[in-house]
């Protein structure tokens, strides 16, 4: 999941500080850790405030996480904004004729201090949140919005950007430079630079209010995640795996509830509880607690906030001449418009809900055979799906889990990175690089052959209070060469429930896929070979593709045979169990696809419907009913906690992007399956790195994919991958 540029070229207003992380469908998160152009560029200025200071120490400089103090945050933000505005004024008021170098390149260089502050801001927001931080966040969000608006509405600056974009010089620039000039111009034009003065004023007011609303939405969800914990006793543990019981006991103990077991309000705790607990009443309680986040008719209820956000977004794009928010949002994405995005959804939706009907029938049969006088409900789905899995495939998820050790999976990821990217990961001695929590570990990444330093990889794997749920990736510095070579500082963040002291942390197969997924984002950062910071800004319906693709290497024989070993005996996973896993690879695909797509479709519906006609709570129910949404499943992210869409604008009207990226993923996976060397084929692997990872956004994604595959991706690959029937075309 993972970085949002708040640079001057991104012009993302305050979205950079409140937007959701990019992330795998199997995981939910909000990760506002922005990356800023010129983040670590050279500066002669010296500051007492450590948050403003250049990164110092080894590896080209690293963040001083051990010295960050919350009392420095507000003054650092204020100073950094002032410095940035001085830089902007200098660019805008330059008397020399506008050129790529004195306009675009200078904008790429500007904002170094602010970028460094945002690095620390992101850590507090995502990894170390507190009531004190959230007070600062609430105060500064509208101020930051106004700051970014000053830049987007700087008429002299936009005139110079426009002059460069329309000049003859453009044709003499490199392909990357031409794309950056277009992105810079486009970000201004799409964010109000062309409006008249009265409209600009209203545009700024809307952005300012949205910044506050996004922050409030996110804070409300986090409050419900922190405040609602289900404590159970020893008599209520029936069915729960020993590893989960130990982790739940440790979680309760850390909250001062000795002798109890804590089911925290996070997916990593909720999911296994619903899968294994035999106590149906408790399953319902835990399910309702989790899915009602932000929807409890209390001080943290988000329904009114949703309504206001939708109203303001609609008004804002109307100022720009767009029919609805989704039309504006998708204009520069691969989908181009909401109709294309919805068309893809509707190609898959009928097959997905049909599969759910089959899955529920299988579950109901098991329940009746056991004499359970019930009708399958949402809190039963995981529990009975597990029984069906055992019945149909003789596959026990808990048995599989015994071979999925977090540390061994990390070694597996390093192995894959070595084979595909020629990377080597070496753990850094504790204390050499500062970290923001004792759980965080750091590795140096080098080229296996030359030993050349590539960057650092930070890992923050475990759940804790104040840390947002889900999984995400980000960077603290990205690779660039325009202003002196800058190496990568990348980070992966998860919310695994830590194993008991001295014991391995065991995770589910879905979590293992998520682990690989997020590492795919890190490899995307680490393999970058671009000149300018803006080349790291992602195209939202493409940027998940690379990470989704990396999940496929989890099931390669090389990984399975070397790294999936029993946490007690050290014995490799039996071939018979592996065969069961592969046979069951499309099991429960109806559930997984439908819960995701329900969220993606609702996102598009929210942003293509007149907000005056929307009451969020009723709208969700009514629209899902029209879609024949199965009663046994709910949206993966119900509206009141749909952080991707309402805690920022990163995925607003764009959550469909995971499915769009899945089409690319399935198609690209077939390229490896067709190759002589399979998933480790040298020729296909080289094209993967060259065209799909290293170019970042320096090349149009559609062009990059065609260079890799030799053609556009085909949706049939997705249907085959999920075991769904391929719909017939109109010509058949």
pLDDT digits 0-9 by tens, 307-366: 999 999 999 999 999 999 999 999 989 999 999 999 999 999 999 999 999 999 999 999
Q: Are 643 and 19 in contact (CB under 8 A)?
A: no
Q: Which pLDDT band holds residue 537 (cuts at 50, 70, 90)?
A: confident
Q: From residue 680, how far is each of 248, 272, 445, 504, 513 by CA, in Å? A: 39, 33, 20, 29, 18
Instruction: Tokens 């109901």: give the residue.
Output: 364
Identify the pLDDT of residue 23: 34
CA distance 482 to 477: 14
Cα(301)–Cα(488) distance, integer angstroms = 39
pLDDT of residue 501: 86
pLDDT for 539 equals 82
Which contacts (CB < 8 Å, 24+ apart) does range 684-689 have? Answer: 685/419, 685/420, 688/420, 688/549, 689/420, 689/421, 689/527
Find the largest Cα–Cα distance for the chain.
84
Secondary structure class of 506 (helix, strand, coil): strand
Q: Counting runs of H as helices and runs of E as strands, what totals does the chain give? A: 28, 9
610-651 pLDDT tens trace: 999 999 989 999 999 999 999 999 999 999 999 999 999 989
Residue 56, strand partner residues: 62
Query: How many other CB atoms are there within 10 angstroms of residue 614's CB atom?
Result: 21
The pLDDT of residue 45 is: 47
Does residue 730 register a pLDDT over 90? Answer: no
| Per-residue pLDDT, 157 | 98
Q: Is 261 helix (H, G, I), strand (E, B) or coil?
A: strand
Cα separation, 135 vs 389, whole angstroms: 47
Give the pLDDT score at 44.
40
Query: How does DSSP assign 678-707, residue by residue?
Result: GGG-HHHHHHIIIIIITTTTSS-HHHHHHH
Phi, psi (degrees; rounded to nearest 5) at 426: -120, 125
Categorize the per-residue pLDDT at 474 as very low, low, confident or very high, splitting at 50, 70 and 90. Answer: very high
Task: Give me the long-range contacts of 614-622 (CB less than 8 A, separation at least 24).
Answer: 614/307, 614/310, 615/303, 615/307, 616/303, 616/306, 616/307, 616/640, 617/295, 617/303
Question: What residues pair up with 458 in beta bridges, in sequence order?
Answer: 442, 491
Stretch 591-614: mean pLDDT, rounded? 97
Cα→Cα distances 467→108, 137, 202, 482, Å: 31, 15, 35, 35
Q: What is the pLDDT of residues 547-584, one digit of tens each?
A: 999 999 999 999 999 999 999 999 999 999 999 998 88
Please, which pLDDT band fits residue 30 given cuts at 50, 70 and 90? very low
State how far the alpha carbon of 88 is from the alpha carbons of 119, 148, 224, 371, 488, in Å. Answer: 21, 11, 40, 72, 26
Token output for 155: 């008429």
pLDDT > 90? residue 473 = yes
Distance (Å) of CA 414 to CA 418, 452, 457, 631, 681: 6, 17, 11, 42, 17
- Asked if the model's pLDDT at residue 19 lies above 60, the reply is no
Q: Give the pLDDT of residue 8.
A: 32
Task: Copy the structure tokens of residue 676.
Answer: 């002589």
pLDDT score recorded for residue 729: 60
List pLDDT tens digits, range 118-127: 999 999 999 9
Q: What is the rounded CA–CA span in Å between residue 319 and residue 492?
A: 39
Task: Report the length, in residues, of the chain.
Answer: 732
Cα–Cα distance, 320 to 370 (Å, whole number) = 60
Report the share of the chain in percent with pLDDT over 70. 93
Average pLDDT in the 131-153 region?
A: 94
Residue 18, pLDDT > 50, answer no
State residue 1's pLDDT score. 33
Q: What Rg do the C-alpha atoms of the chain give, in angstroms?
A: 25
Considering the chain, what percentage of its residues have pLDDT values greater than 90? 86
Residue 432 has pLDDT above 50, yes or no: yes
CA distances from 398 to 240, 516, 566 (A): 10, 20, 12
pTM for the structure as a whole: 0.84
- Model confidence at 383: pLDDT above 90: yes
Residues 44-64 have pLDDT tens digits of 446 899 999 999 999 999 999
Q: What is the mean pLDDT of residues 532-552?
A: 91
Banded model confidence at residue 22, pLDDT cuts 50, 70, 90: very low
> Strand, coil or helix: what is 4?
strand
- Inform me whether the pLDDT recorded for 605 exceeds 60: yes
| Alpha helix ranges (H) inside 62-154 | 73-92, 106-109, 112-126, 131-152
Q: Which pLDDT belongs to residue 375?
A: 97
Q: Domains in the chain, start-ordered, CATH in brackets?
A: 4-223 (1.10.1370.40), 228-291 (no CATH), 406-571 (1.10.1370.40)
Residue 200 has pLDDT above 50, yes or no: yes
Which is more confident, 24 or 245? 245
Rounded to an integer, the average pLDDT of 252-269 is 93
Q: What is the pLDDT of residue 346?
A: 95
Average pLDDT over residues 600-617: 96
Per-residue pLDDT tens over the stretch 493-506: 999 989 888 899 99
pLDDT at residue 700 greater than cutoff 80: yes
**pLDDT at position 722 over 60:** yes
Q: Assess whether pLDDT exceeds 60 at residue 285.
A: yes
CB 317 within 8 A of CB 662: no
Sequence-distant (6+) residues with CB within 8 A of 604 are 326, 338, 341, 342, 345, 653, 656
What is the CB neighbour count within 10 angstroms for residue 113?
Answer: 29
> CA-CA-CA-CA torsion for 178, 183, 185, 190, nearest 10 degrees?
160
The pair of structure tokens assigned to 109 is: 């260089």
Q: What's residue 540's pLDDT?
A: 79
- Distance CA(182)–CA(179), nearest Å, equals 5
Rounded Cα distance, 404 and 410, in Å: 10
The predicted pLDDT at position 46 comes to 65
CB count, 10 Å around CB of 51? Answer: 25
Give the Cβ contact number of residue 278 at 10 Å: 12
- Say whether pLDDT at 25 is over 50: no
């Amino acid at each position: 999941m993972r970085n949002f540029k708040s640079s001057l070229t991104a012009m993302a207003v305050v979205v950079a500080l409140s937007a959701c992380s990019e992330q795998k469908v199997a995981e939910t998160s909000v990760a506002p850790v922005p990356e800023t152009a010129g983040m670590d560029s050279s500066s002669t200025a010296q500051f007492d405030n450590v948050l403003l200071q250049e990164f110092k120490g080894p590896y080209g400089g690293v963040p001083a996480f051990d010295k960050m103090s919350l009392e420095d945050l507000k003054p650092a933000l204020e100073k950094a904004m002032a410095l940035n505005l001085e830089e902007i004024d200098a660019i805008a008021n330059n008397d020399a004729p506008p050129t790529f170098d004195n306009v675009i390149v200078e904008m790429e260089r500007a904002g170094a201090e602010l970028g460094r502050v945002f690095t620390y801001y992101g850590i507090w927001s995502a990894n170390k949140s507190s009531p004190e931080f959230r007070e600062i966040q609430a105060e500064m969000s509208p101020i930051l919005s106004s700051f970014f608006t000053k830049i987007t509405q700087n008429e002299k600056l936009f005139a110079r950007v426009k002059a460069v974009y329309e000049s003859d010089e453009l044709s003499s620039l490199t392909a990357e430079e031409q794309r950056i000039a277009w992105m810079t111009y486009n970000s201004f034009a799409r964010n109000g630079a062309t409006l008249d003065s009265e409209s600009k004023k209203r545009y700024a007011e809307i952005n300012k209010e949205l910044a506050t609303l996004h922050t409030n939405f996110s804070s409300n969800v986090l409050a419900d995640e922190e405040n609602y914990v289900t404590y159970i006793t020893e008599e209520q543990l029936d069915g729960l795996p020993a590893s989960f019981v130990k982790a739940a006991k440790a979680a309760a103990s850390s909250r001062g509830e000795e002798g109890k077991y804590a089911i925290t309000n996070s997916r990593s705790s909720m999911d296994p509880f619903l899968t294994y607990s035999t106590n149906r009443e408790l399953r319902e309680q835990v399910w309702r607690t989790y899915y009602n986040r932000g929807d409890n008719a209390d001080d943290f209820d988000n329904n009114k906030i949703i309504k206001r956000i939708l109203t303001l977004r609609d008004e804002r794009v109307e100022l720009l001449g767009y029919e609805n928010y989704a039309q504006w949002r998708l204009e520069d994405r691969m989908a181009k418009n909401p109709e294309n995005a919805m068309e893809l959804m509707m190609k898959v939706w009928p097959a997905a809900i049909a599969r759910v009907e089959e899955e529920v029938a299988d579950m109901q049969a098991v329940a009746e055979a056991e004499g359970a006088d019930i009708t399958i409900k949402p809190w039963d789905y995981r529990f009975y799906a597990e029984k069906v899995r055992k019945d149909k495939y003789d596959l026990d998820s808990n048995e599989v889990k015994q071979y999925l050790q977090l540390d061994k999976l990390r070694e597996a990821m390093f192995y894959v990175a070595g084979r595909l990217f020629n990377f080597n990961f070496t753990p850094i001695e504790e204390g050499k690089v500062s970290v923001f929590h004792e759980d965080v570990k750091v590795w140096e990444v080098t080229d296996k052959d030359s030993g050349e330093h590539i960057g650092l990889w930070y890992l923050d794997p475990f759940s804790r209070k104040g840390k947002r749920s889900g999984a995400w990736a980000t960077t603290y510095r990205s690779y660039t060469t325009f202003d002196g070579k800058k190496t990568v500082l990348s980070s992966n963040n998860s919310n695994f429930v830590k194993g008991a002291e001295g014991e391995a942390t065991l995770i589910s197969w879905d979590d293992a896929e998520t682990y690989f997924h997020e590492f795919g984002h890190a490899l995307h950062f680490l393999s970058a070979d671009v000149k300018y910071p803006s080349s790291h800004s992602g195209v939202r319906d493409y940027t998940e593709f690379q990470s989704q693709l990396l999940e496929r290497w989890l099931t390669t024989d090389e990984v399975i045979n070397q790294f999936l070993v029993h946490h007690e005996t050290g014995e490799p996973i039996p071939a018979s169990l592996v065969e069961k896993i592969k046979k069951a690879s499309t099991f429960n695909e109806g559930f997984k696809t439908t819960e995701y797509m329900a969220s993606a479709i609702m996102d598009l519906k929210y942003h293509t419907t007149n907000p005056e006609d929307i009451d969020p709570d009723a709208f969700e129910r009514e629209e899902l009913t029209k879609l024949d949404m199965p009663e046994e499943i709910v949206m993966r992210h119900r509206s009141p906690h749909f952080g991707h869409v309402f805690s920022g604008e990163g995925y607003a009207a764009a959550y469909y992007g995971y499915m769009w990226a899945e089409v690319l993923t399935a198609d690209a996976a077939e390229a490896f399956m067709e190759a002589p060397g399979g998933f480790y084929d040298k020729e296909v692997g080289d094209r993967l790195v060259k065209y799909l990872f290293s170019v970042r956004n320096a090349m149009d994604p559609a062009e990059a994919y065609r260079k890799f595959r030799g053609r556009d991706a085909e949706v049939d690959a997705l249907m085959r991958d999920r075991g769904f029937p391929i719909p017939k075309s109109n010509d058949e």
